[in-house]
Structure 1
Amino acid sequence: MTAYELLLQPFAEFGFMRRALVACAALAIGSAPMGTLLVLRRMSLMGDAMAHALLPGAAVGFMLAGLSMPAMGAGALVAALLVAVLAGWATQVTAQREDASMAAFYLIALALGVLILSLHGSPVDLMHVLFGSILAVDDASLLMVAAVASATLLLLAGLYRPLLAMCVDPGFLQSVGGHTRVLHLGFLALVVSNLVAGFQALGTLMAVGLMMLPAVAARFWARELWGQAAVSAGIAMVSGVCGLLASYHLRVPCGPAIVLVAGALYLLSLGLGPRDSLLARHAALRHHRTA
């Protein structure tokens, strides 16, 4: 098999592969930088919780309009935002921490979504909503993913300094007149928007994978936030391309293939990255012993 047949032929011959490639690129440049902010704020698991919170809204959209991505995406957006608002409300009116409230509400949402899909759909429909099908992305879904990615980049560029201050020292941001609560809610809305965009292609269970795994891996390669965002976007893009090629040649589901490639790159970064990896720590220990 030549390099052309291995790497380029699937994208040259099939329009659905080209659309999937563009969707992966848009998700990479939008979702992965958001993942770096979640990691910096120690909110990695909250991203997973919010991804699961998409399910009941997507299930209601499916129940009303079938496998219509615009309807399911709109329902998923409303459901995830509702879960985020309810978790924030529970945190304000009780002594419970936000992560505990989020875990409670997302588990309720996840169970409710599975129940709705089980009652009003088939096992195939359930698998489609949970794991997605990036090879079936249509033009409307592709435009939505591209629009969310573009808006994310513009907002991150415009709000870079206050977002960085909120991640590193929210007390300082509040002391200089920053609207931390509004910024936090806007940040959560942006995370949800990117998860909904990822849901269009990868399903509710896989969408968070392309957001978080590249972001976690990037910390082993870059120190500054902007560097981590760039590296995470690159890792997400490589994961998308390699996952699509693996799906095409090996006849495996594309969503899990993409996330597994991202997981493999994370393990590679954990072992060999230049910053705080196993190799870097071993080298630093050897240097300390010989000094």
Structure 2
Amino acid sequence: MELKNQTAVSKFHLLGLTDNHKLLPLIFAMFLSMYLITVLGNLTIIVAITSASQPHTPMYLFLSVLSINDICYSTVTIPKMLVSIQAHDDIISYIECLSQICFLSIFGVMENFLLAVMAYDRYAAICKPLRYTVILSPVCCVLMVLFSLLISIMDALLHSLMVLRLFFCTDLEIPHFFCELAQIIKLACSDTFLNNFLIFAAAFVFGGGPVCGIVFSYIYIVSSVLRMPSSGAKHKAFSTCASHLSVVSLFYGTGLGVYITSAVTDSLRNTAMASMMYSVVPPLLNPFIYSLRNREMKEALKKLVSRLIYLM
């Protein structure tokens, strides 16, 4: 079989979600709508938090960073897909593909760590209320965000550099609407053992670590809440965690769906659809979950809307 190394490979073909060209206008309209809602929804959350006088607790700092991360996560893939559909061009250059892999890794791992940091915030607020402002001081919050970003960048660079060492076959078709690391590795004709090992190792460390942090945080939270004498206090404590638990369930639930779909089906199209749910749906729904299930966010949004109406 003829081989090409990374210096000769100049492009890949993204096959998208369907072969039916009649469905492309519908897919374009759907993804354009989802992207606009994602950007506007997350921007609204950011503006509401920064302009309001009340929600300036660490939780809302982390929520602002999560919203920025979600906008970036969606921007890495959807605009390129929309341009490809509009131009009837399924080609993505090698550099663009590698860039997508790198940035998807950064924002995917970053989301993982942010959810763990937000779980720790809920633990400190409920289990250590008297020391909450000391435990999560502004400096500590910024350091946790920067540490999460640093780890995410290191992980992404590691995977990207490992892709550079691969040799590719002449068949460079990706059954997806973006360059996914696992799909790129499947196209390689050279030995990919090290690449796959690093994926599993990174998933175990950078995925399993935050998940364990979330689980342990909520074990302590539930234990602390159950010891509260007042049912009203219990309800208030659980309600402060509802939004975060919903976002966590959505993020890891769709991720688990991708894994199960890949394991039980041989259809690459089904796997691509599952990956679409994982990469597009959480950033789309996160702002609605926080705005609809959180009383302080509702108040901040009402004040923002009132201010906009007054300016108009």
Q: Higher relative CO (CA 8 A, sep ≥ 6), structure 1 or 2? A: 2
Same fold (TM over 0.5): no
TM-score (norm 1): 0.34
Radius of gyration: which is bigger?
Answer: 2
Which has more strand, going by share of residues?
A: 2
Higher helix share: 1
